[in-house]
Structure formats: C-alpha cells, structure tokens
Amino acid sequence: MTSKQRSYLKGLAMNLDPVFQIGKASLTPEFTESIIEILEARELVKINVLKNCDDEPKELANVLADRTHSEVVQVIGRKIVLYKESKTKKKIELPK
C-alpha cells in the first residue's frame, strides 16, 4: 500500500464510527471471524480498544491484520483502522 493510498483511507476513516470494541477478553476467534465478515462487507473498519484491555493497540492491530489478511491503515491512541479489499462488494477505489 502506497502512502497516497494510506492517506486516502485515513481520510475516509475519519468519518467512521468504531464498529467493534476490544475489551478484557482481547482477541477471541469469534471476534476475529466478525472482523473478517465486516471487512468483506465494508472494506474499511474502525475498532476501539477499551481501557480494560491489557494489550497494546499497535500489537493488537498487527495481530488482527495478520489473522484477517488485511492491512493496518493507522493506529491512533486506542483506535485501530483496518482495510481489506472485498472480493465481492468492492466499494473503495484506491488512488494509483
């Protein structure tokens, strides 16, 4: 992913509300499955890491990206933004 594409996705993510929250239980297989489904439907997803979660947001972002085969767009504070191009419902056209 180029810096121009990442910048474009950051701009789109600014208007998104977090869809999921990672709490005390951290990353469960069910949570990961939910993220995979929402990425297929939306392509871009914002996740909130609650204060009661002991894991670092950057570590969580990298693990989630690895498990879902997506890319980390950004991690700001306790918010994670992931992107994965949809196979069936392509909505976001990235700049070249």
Domain ranges of the chain: 3-83
What residues pair up with 76 in beta bridges, in sequence order?
79
67 burial via Cβ count (<10 Å: 0-12, 13-18, 19+):
middle
pTM above 0.75, yes or no: yes
Count CA atoms closer than 13 A to 28's CA, side-chain side: 10
In CATH terms, the superfamily for domain 3-83 is YhbY-like (3.30.110.60)
pLDDT, mean of residues 15-35: 91
Query: How does residue 95 score in pLDDT terms, banded at 50, 70 and 90?
Result: confident
User: Is the pLDDT reported for residue 93 higher than 90?
Assistant: no
Share of the chain above pLDDT 70, in %: 100
